[in-house]
Structure 1
Amino acid sequence: MRKKRKRSRHLILTAVLLLLGTTLAASEAGAAQRNVLYDKASTYPRILRLAHNGFANGRILTSIEGWSGKDGIGIIHQSTDGGRTFQRLSTIKDPEAANGRGICCGAFYELPQDVGSLEEGTLLWADTVGFNAPDAQRRTQLRLWASEDRGRSWSFVSTIATSPTSDPIWEPELEVAKDGSLVAFYSDESDKSHHDQKLVQVRSTDGVHWGGYRETVVNEQWSVRPGMASSLRLPDGTYLLAYEVCNNDPGHLCSVYTRTSADGWNYGDPHDLGTLVRTPDGKYARHTPTISWSPGPGQHGTVLLMSEILVKKDGSYAPGNGNTVLGNDHRGAGNWYEMPAPVPVDKPDNKQCKNFSPSIVASRDGRSATEVTTDLDGKVCKTYYGTGPLTPR
């Protein structure tokens, strides 16, 4: 009888462990579940997984922009359980964003190597400030901040760029080029006599002194607006740049394009608009693109692309609008395919907030991903997060 009881207990324990393992595996794969990251007004969520911070590697951090009274602030959250829960980690208080002067369009980046005195693993955050100042005083700035303790505290590093006119510059994006310089892309509206907006870049060898201003994407037609860059270094060492181009195609307004670079600085002829992102059945990604790398589901890895809106070939909203991640298993070349987004947003329509500039990071095995995006709760634009499987539709 004792042997039977022991065997019975063993079988029960085995069954429990198998069930627990199945549950944990399902949890790792992540059934999509939408959660509030920040229960107040916020914009431009960004997400990354630490990969150059030793014992802390694997932690997921997010950045958003919010407000404390009239002061614009950056807000950092952290997850130590794979994106299941997040805790507020720190606040960045930029004095140039105080008193209603405006804050926008933050970039969030982990240095993969030393840049000047900024060591590998340093977290960088760049904001856009000053665009709400009175006309006579308005000189929009892109300002760089750094954290050497994995996001717990922040210090000001430098001003990346200042608009030479009262027209703004926007939307910084950071990347380390092959030569070790820190590159910042941004949308530039300051050249109004020639272009409504163009995508440009500058670089720095130390994060403090910036130069080398050049056009990245520009068009002869004044009203065409390239902008909102997102950069990614691929495992083979090449670089992929995604961005939107507005006003060149009325049927597919602000479609997403890409281009590649061998060195992270030279992206070819700036007058070439690049390669249009499309699915085999002609769907287009529109507005606010962000890209990231995943080990899967592609056999050799997958580029993940998030955008605000997904439309059909004829420009009408697609069934997956607000609920789609686009994947590409060929380093951005050729067609893209659809996967369900971890955080569904109902019917985004380019009226700000709803799925505006979503961001995603893959799990370390590439089976799932965690997304942050914004949506309206009544009249409040809140940030949400969720984890879901990366499964082609």
Structure 2
Amino acid sequence: MKLNKGKGLLFSLGVVSLGLSLLGGINEKVSANSSTPITTIASKNQIPGTKSPSFLYGRGLVTTHTDKSHNGKLYATSEHYVNGTPTFLIFESLNNAKSWKKISEINDTHNFLANNSPWGNRYQPFLYELPEKIGKMPAGTIICAGNSIPNDLSRTSIDLYFSKDHAHSWQYLSTIAVGGHADVNTTSNGPVWEPFVSVIDHKLVCYFSDERDKPLHSQKLSHRVSKDGINWGNEVDDVAFKEPAARPGMVTVARMKNGKYIMTYEVVNSGEWRTNYKISADGLNWNASDEGTRLAYGGAPYVVTLHNGDIVANTDGSGDLYINKNNGDVRAWQDIKTNIPLAYSRSLTVLPNDDLLIVSGGPLKAPTDPNSNDLTSTIFSFK
């Protein structure tokens, strides 16, 4: 969630804590196994026009549903802060994250100002590889959902782009949700934020944060479903707190080994700044009034399921990982200590061997901070 202040963007995080205090279900700490050295994907000095904080909200992807010549490639993107019109930069690694190369950028080709200049692909990109055919897009197609926002931050539009050539070029496909001013202080016609995309029951599902239901809900979590990636169904609420000021946000979802789905999300303006989670039988029906179970202090979470069935999550309150070997049972969480720095909305990508690709845009920074973030990656192994 972002808060517009004057000329820049600050971030509204509720009760900010640099340390992570674990709650109820996390009852055991496990030492880290190993991680590869942190690799720089991109830095301010490498890309002209980059301004502070340079990079935030890192996202990663591994291809596993295309042909043999392309399976196993790694991709990364993030928010990229620039003096001009922002785009989503796409980076590729062919050597398991030892090095990265910029191969493309996703320009805003859909939303334009009166002078025909594009708004810009500004916030919260999310990369995803289709595991099966959706509409006219074959399995292995790489898609990217992200937030298009003009320089005056007056509007928000979660748009979907797709690539026919393994992320080397991009085309606009559809708009998933549109909202108002990119500012959490709006009292009406609020923005939409933070898309997360998955295929469930042969359909494309996009979860997102929704501020358009004020004053009943300062923010809630919703989703829309599409059979073809172009036409989207009605919005369905997934998390909506009774307390109007509460702000559940930054949703991620993973299918567990028992076939059910786990959702993680941050909670702001409702007691502790924390991450909650809850479970759905089908990934589409979440009982929106269920506010979930507290997992840990800290927000901007991410959750994945390893091929062996273990659930792994993190938040931006710590560099630690949290593992659950029993389908999200509240009593089964373990805290895995790592030497990986904390980061704002650090993404986890499960590799074919059950290692994790961790892509980081660095810690939360205001535009007035003189220090810039690098976009980085590391591989964490549980072995």
- TM-score, normalization by structure 2: 0.78
Q: Matches of 1:234 and 1:380 in 2, distance apart?
A: 37
Return the structure number with greater helix share. Answer: 1
Cα deviation for residue 289 of structure 1 reads 0.7
Q: Matches of 1:101 and 1:87 in 2, distance apart?
A: 22
Cα deviation for residue 31 of structure 1 reads 3.8
User: Contact 1:73 / 1:94 at 8 angstroms: preserved in 2?
Assistant: yes
Cα deviation for residue 185 of structure 1 reads 0.8
User: Contact 1:342 / 1:388 at 8 angstroms: preserved in 2?
Assistant: no
Q: Max radius of gyration: which structure?
A: 1
Residue 87 of structure 2: SS of its match in structure 1? strand
Q: Matches of 2:162 and 2:337 in 1, distance apart?
A: 34
User: Would you say 1:289 and 2:312 are equivalent positions?
Assistant: no
Q: Matches of 2:192 and 2:135 in 1, distance apart?
A: 26
Q: Matches of 2:56 and 2:350 in 1, distance apart?
A: 21
Cα deviation for residue 272 of structure 1 reads 0.6
Cα deviation for residue 131 of structure 1 reads 6.1
Mark the CA change 1:89 to 1:170 in structure 2 (over 3 Å): closer, same or farther.
Answer: same
Q: Matches of 1:132 and 1:271 in 2, distance apart?
A: 35
Mark the CA change 1:329 to 1:385 in structure 2 (over 3 Å): closer, same or farther.
Answer: same
Match of 1:182 among 200, 204, 216: 204
Q: Matches of 2:352 and 2:337 in 1, distance apart?
A: 19
Cα deviation for residue 132 of structure 1 reads 4.6
1:1-393 matches, within 5 Å, as: 31-40=35-44, 41-55=54-68, 56-67=70-81, 69-95=83-109, 96=111, 103-130=122-149, 132-133=151-152, 138-163=154-179, 166-178=189-201, 180-249=202-271, 252-253=272-273, 255-267=274-286, 269-277=287-295, 284-295=296-307, 300-309=308-317, 321=318, 323-334=319-330, 335-341=332-338, 343-345=340-342, 355-366=343-354, 368-375=355-362, 379-390=371-382
Q: Matches of 1:363 and 1:99 in 2, distance apart?
A: 36
User: Contact 2:258 / 2:327 at 8 angstroms: preserved in 1?
Assistant: no
User: Contact 1:140 / 1:162 at 8 angstroms: preserved in 2?
Assistant: yes
Q: Matches of 1:48 and 1:333 in 2, distance apart?
A: 27
Cα deviation for residue 30 of structure 1 reads 5.4
User: Contact 2:256 / 2:309 at 8 angstroms: preserved in 1?
Assistant: no
Mark the CA change 1:118 to 1:373 in structure 2 (over 3 Å): closer, same or farther.
Answer: same
1:146-198 deviation per Cα after TM superposition (whole angstroms, max 9, x unaligned): 112221111100011112664211001111122x2211111111222211111
1:180-239 deviation per Cα after TM superposition (whole angstroms, max 9, x unaligned): 221111111122221111111111111111122121100121101111110112344322
User: Contact 2:108 / 2:119 at 8 angstroms: preserved in 1?
Assistant: no
Residue 374 of structure 2: SS of its match in structure 1? strand
1:67-113 deviation per Cα after TM superposition (whole angstroms, max 9, x unaligned): 45411111111122222222222111114386676711112111111
Mark the CA change 1:389 to 1:190 in structure 2 (over 3 Å): closer, same or farther.
Answer: same
User: Contact 1:185 / 1:202 at 8 angstroms: preserved in 2?
Assistant: yes
Q: Matches of 1:288 and 1:149 in 2, distance apart?
A: 31
Residue 375 of structure 1: SS of its match in structure 2? coil
Residues matched between the structures, number: 323
User: Contact 1:144 / 1:157 at 8 angstroms: preserved in 2?
Assistant: yes
Mark the CA change 1:201 to 1:286 in structure 2 (over 3 Å): closer, same or farther.
Answer: same
User: Contact 1:32 / 1:342 at 8 angstroms: preserved in 2?
Assistant: no
Identity of aligned residues (%): 26
Q: Matches of 2:238 and 2:120 in 1, distance apart?
A: 28
One-letter amino acid of the counterpart of residue 34, structure 1 = I
One-letter amino acid of the counterpart of residue 198, structure 2 = E
Q: Matches of 1:308 and 1:133 in 2, distance apart?
A: 28
Q: Matches of 2:108 and 2:119 in 1, distance apart?
A: 12
1:226-265 deviation per Cα after TM superposition (whole angstroms, max 9, x unaligned): 111101123443222111122222xx31x11222223221
Mark the CA change 1:148 to 1:340 in structure 2 (over 3 Å): closer, same or farther.
Answer: farther
Unmatched tracts of structure 1, length 5 or more:
1-28, 278-283, 310-320, 346-354
Q: Matches of 2:147 and 2:60 in 1, distance apart?
A: 18
Mark the CA change 1:72 to 1:342 in structure 2 (over 3 Å): closer, same or farther.
Answer: farther
One-letter amino acid of the counterpart of residue 299, structure 2 = H
Residue 262 of structure 2: SS of its match in structure 1? strand
User: Contact 2:149 / 2:157 at 8 angstroms: preserved in 1?
Assistant: yes
Q: Matches of 1:199 and 1:239 in 2, distance apart?
A: 16
Mark the CA change 1:219 to 1:163 in structure 2 (over 3 Å): closer, same or farther.
Answer: same
Residue 71 of structure 1: SS of its match in structure 2? coil
User: Which structure is richer in relative contact order (CA contacts within 8 A, separation 6 or more)?
Assistant: 2
